[in-house]
């Protein structure tokens, strides 16, 4: 009897992912899956978790580098709105720490509709790369996104995205030139109505597939 109860309460998880058609293979945008920082579905009977990571190293000299992480979660109980916001903030802090970024000002916050039919909550921040490391240049200006939504299948999806916006060269501590290019950031955040920073189109977050 106990086994039947436990088995009936077992959860399953179909991870949310960015479709291949939205990555480099389908668009030539430089974004690729990052298996080294991804994890398959893990957990017990009552909760599951997976991480799908993506990276644009800007190896083709097209724009600046960027990173994205899509965390899919599912448990017997669905988190409330406050818990969802806390998870977004936690993921942003982890993203900043892992990539050597110093968070500065919050620039935007709100809700929007995604291509998968979900309504999300998002927040954006400015940051500075504290030191050379990860994929971002030292002292570069970086923009961060945290976003969360629920798939119709029951999974909670927490997204973090970060993209270098500009880098500068200096002589004797004096800036001599600046290379500003927000296209990688735009690839992450854009949607048909330009909710985030006015960038329109079908961006990586907008295009996320809930996985069935």
Each residue of 56-87: pLDDT tens digit? 998 766 789 999 999 999 876 667 778 888 88
Residue 126 makes CB contacts below 8 A (sequence gap 6+) with 103, 104, 105, 107, 141, 142, 143, 144
Identify the DSSP state of 54. E
Domain membership of residue 57 (yes or no) is yes
Domain membership of residue 206 (yes or no) is no
- On the question of pLDDT at 6 being above 60, the answer is no
Domain membership of residue 195 (yes or no) is no
Classify 210 as helix, strand or coil. Answer: coil
Rounded to the nearest integer, the mean pLDDT of the chain is: 85
**If pLDDT is split at 50, 70 and 90, which confidence band does 169 have?**
low
Q: Which of 32-46, 104-118, 140-154, 181-195 comes out lowest in average pLDDT?
A: 32-46
For residue 174, what pLDDT is reported?
Answer: 47
Domain membership of residue 134 (yes or no) is yes
CATH number at residue 115: 3.40.1000
Read out DSSP for 59-91?
A: TTSSS--EEEEEEEEEESS---HHHHHHHHHHH
Q: Which of 9-13, 103-107, 204-208 comes out lowest in average pLDDT?
A: 9-13
Residues 140 and 64: beta-carbon distance below 8 Å: yes
Residues 64 and 57: beta-carbon distance below 8 Å: no
Residues 154 and 75: beta-carbon distance below 8 Å: no
pLDDT, average across residues 29-37: 94
For residue 132, what pLDDT is reported?
Answer: 64
d(Cα 50, Cα 86) in Å, to the nearest integer? 18
Residues 17 and 208: beta-carbon distance below 8 Å: yes
C-beta neighbour count of 83 within 10 angstroms: 13
Number of domains the chain contains: 1
Top-confidence residue, 76 or 27:
27
pLDDT, average across residues 21-25: 92
- On the question of pLDDT at 170 being above 60, the answer is no
End-to-end CA distance of the chain: 31
Domain membership of residue 196 (yes or no) is no
What are 43's strand-pairing partners?
Answer: 48
For residue 77, what pLDDT is reported?
Answer: 62
Domain membership of residue 204 (yes or no) is no
- On the question of pLDDT at 20 being above 60, the answer is yes
- On the question of pLDDT at 8 being above 60, the answer is no
What domain range includes position 71?
Answer: 2-189
Domain membership of residue 153 (yes or no) is yes
Residues 167 and 137: beta-carbon distance below 8 Å: yes
pLDDT, average across residues 33-41: 93
């Amino acid at each position: 009897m106990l086994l039947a109860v436990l088995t009936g309460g077992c959860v399953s998880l179909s991870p949310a992912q960015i479709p291949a058609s939205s990555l480099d293979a389908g668009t030539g945008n430089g974004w690729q899956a990052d298996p080294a920082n991804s994890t398959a579905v893990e957990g017990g009977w009552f909760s599951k978790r997976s991480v799908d990571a993506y990276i644009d190293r800007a190896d083709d000299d097209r724009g600046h580098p960027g990173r994205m992480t899509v965390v899919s979660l599912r448990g017997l109980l669905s988190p409330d709105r406050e818990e969802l916001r806390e998870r977004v903030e936690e993921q942003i802090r982890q993203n900043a720490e892992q990539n050597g970024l110093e968070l500065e000002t919050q620039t935007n916050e709100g809700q929007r509709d995604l291509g998968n039919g979900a309504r999300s909550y998002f927040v954006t921040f400015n940051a500075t790369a504290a030191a050379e490391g990860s994929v971002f240049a030292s002292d570069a200006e970086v923009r961060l996104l945290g976003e969360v939504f629920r798939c119709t299948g029951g999974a909670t999806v927490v997204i973090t995205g970060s993209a270098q916006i500009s880098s500068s060269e200096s002589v004797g501590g004096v800036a001599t030139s600046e290379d500003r290019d927000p296209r990688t950031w735009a690839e992450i955040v854009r949607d048909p109505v330009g909710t985030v920073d006015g960038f329109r189109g079908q961006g990586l977050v907008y295009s996320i597939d809930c996985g069935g």
